[in-house]
Structure 1
């Protein structure tokens, strides 16, 4: 716990109970560092630094005079006032006392005779308002270098508290402007030469004694996009022995050049090399094991490597846990040689007629029971994916869109086959084994489109201290899952339902079809509520990334192209920036 009235605090000294001083983002980073995980280091300018800046420049009264009686429904006036306030902040001087501290902390972070590249982010907090979220209100400035540039970036972060959308949000939610404070987080940039993901269990088979690691050259966004096939390493828990390694050739990578993210060729002599050493594989596996124990739940972890050092960038719970029925290979395709092999992304066996989808507009060709074959899928493919008996892609790994959605839907899937769209012909019958990552010509008798939930189930009724909730996304699964001895739905995903509606929410509003959008979403949510009544159903509001929203009808008009959508405009940021869209869900 930090002491009161400090202007700047190292992240290493921040704890989870410092939220009121450095905001939620700063508090969480500090907690991770305190737990011993290699999170990129940095420091936080507290709300006291912000207060000192306002007081020293005598601009507090100017700002709130402009905000007094402001009619936020008058867009032109709102924009004008927002620009005036931001100009006042940006043109004001940072107090000498604070300048000295910022430079001192920056020098310590940079090292002797060096100027570190840093990320400068806001971390907002509202005093006495613990139930209000201010995430995403402010600005993030990446690749900031030098003392003068850092001070300007700090002022930009402070000024972002008074963007038109932030002012509008506070007024609409009856939050006094003076109650909202802002901290600024300065954190060392990770210029990753290699990056990837770790699962602290096998996300395909749900085997708890395995840790799965994926890696690519450059920035990790290519894993999320599914635009390259990553290396895949499997490690045994407890012994931390490497059980298997699948090395994938990678021709292109995303890297930072100056302040921009660019796609460049991977050097020829390393394209087919293992991305990280065996020692680094084991080290990452041990981090994953510790994170699971720290959070008491299997984790989906993002990591990056810079100058031979590994960093944990983010961690979240694995959300696709389930029971996987074990099958022997002899019961599948005895005596046959696979025509394609790839990464097993979603377990099960599915047979059907090949339908190759090269563009979004071709998804209508997929009929019930077809095998969907594509270079890679996007959210626009979800309606077709629901009909497919199996899915095959040229590219991608375990965290690609095709893999994640297939596991959610319970559809067999093989990703990263490299040439499925060229080797397979339209109309050919194939069988896909999603558990071992193989594709065969012909059909078999045993076909598993989706794991079946029995109509009646006989289980011991054991009273537990912990309530058991399920994660759901598909309305068609509600009836059967509701028959299981569970206490309710702990997380009802919105993304699949909205993808099924098929239109970007802002486009629906523009076309004055928001009532139709709301009605369709409401009917789908109602299915879950009826089936589980009187048990609770907890709805999780959307967390679409820009690349996912762009694929919906009208999405290209409303969504920016981001170099790293995973860390971009999503989640709570959207709720604040687009309250009209958020209201459609509410």
Structure 2
């Protein structure tokens, strides 16, 4: 029986012999890329030893779907003990010694012995970091010990859980062993040929550290991160990492001195070279790849390549997410979001988790990641998007933000937060879209509108809310994961139009007889860049950039589609519908938007009301010009108004402490709007999460605004607070509601 395979001898279909890792390394070598010299001990040797030791029943129990946790622990110990004591069979010894003696003399840094499971590195399951590798092997006795440990490393409760969750307990599970020359790495890292967080196929993600790569895949350090654009053939982003120590090519642990900290880990040409390797490997394997590399003596070595595995996305969008308080920023490493109560854990702690628990830790190890598969989210101080722990959390759909630097210090036990694995942000409070009960809310003179993202999720609030301040189209626009302009150009715009129209119809029916304001597209460019087919520019600060009605007037086909959807919805159900034009800067934008409405057969102010979202001081001071052009209502985007007035990025953690909705300049602008709108009898609503800020809500209630707009999650809380304020002020300076 053939037990040793050199790279050129492995065939593409021999995964049951070479294991996933071994097979892929062999195919990379055959494609002409540089890999460390080595050979593969076939998984047949593993099967031979299991049978010789009488462990078939134990293996069956380990792979049993109904085996209890206690039985799995007992079986794992039994299998490990047996493999630890087994003597090398003559057939295996002869084959192994011959290959070892051929490789060892040309490997001055020693050998590394790596597990290669037959279900590993597949398109469905990465097994990232769950099995073991053993470096610095220099003699045959140590090699045999390492081989046995590689076989035994599959027998852990964590691996059983992983196999079960991935539906692989019924697979033919075996362990081959990949034996390679050690690369004395000066630098190491990871390449993702496609951004695993945003699914942007244009971007190649490259991470790099000094020294050996174990610390990057284990999440012990925060690597330097590069983004390479295939279309533009250039590095479009570089983010510094944090690394205080590294393992030198001689195996010594050394400190990273200050001048070295500021030195880029990779030159631009080296980024190009690694990106090119990632793209080539994607072509070889037919899917986006997660690649480990090392650099030594002027050459890049590919250590392994596996398919990027990402679980199905769930609950992708939370309403008005950017308007909330950002507590922390880090690297978003999973395309999902979650919310719950913070639980801070120690490095070796295995916590109980559920969908209401946000785990906060210094870093996430591979085995710990498996136990966190039920968590609402995970936040860490250190780690990178390409670490094994991050890979596993992505596979289990767990929202995750790594490399925040100080999450374990800044977040408090029991604190309620929302974790955004897209944007790499941790927000204050629970911002999840969910159906809230709103029984027993008091009557108020000030109306309370809600923002609606997913109409069905507003069903329980609809009977109590006074209207919809923003029917946001993010969900309809972005849920496909394809850029809306790409859909239009490919003839798929009709499906997008139908989705928007159906959403409007459903919302009008839920809020029958109440005002519903449909907000046209206002996602900033960084949101759209995450979508397939995106060609949006990279902006230093997208919140101040190409967005709102100004952008849509340049992409007229998108605006026409939205207005046709509005017209279709009104034909189906009728109702009190208004169109809200977001982030408007100039009066001629209002005039142009109404012309587009007329071109698709909508009559402004007759078929549909038309309003503007006041979000910057310029619009406040030219409000009379907008009124002369013709508007039916005003919505004040409170968070953006604060941002534009104080010149503060509302998503920046650095300036969050001085983001003050009650700043005197903001209040003066609000007073100006209230006065002008009141004089011209125009209904005005102050919307956005900053509108419910306790420092400014009493002013809004008494200043003469007809309505406050908030997210559904805060409706009852704000309604009760307004009732209290009105009671203290006997209704305040109210104007007669004109809607």
Tell me the TM-score normalized by structure 2.
0.41
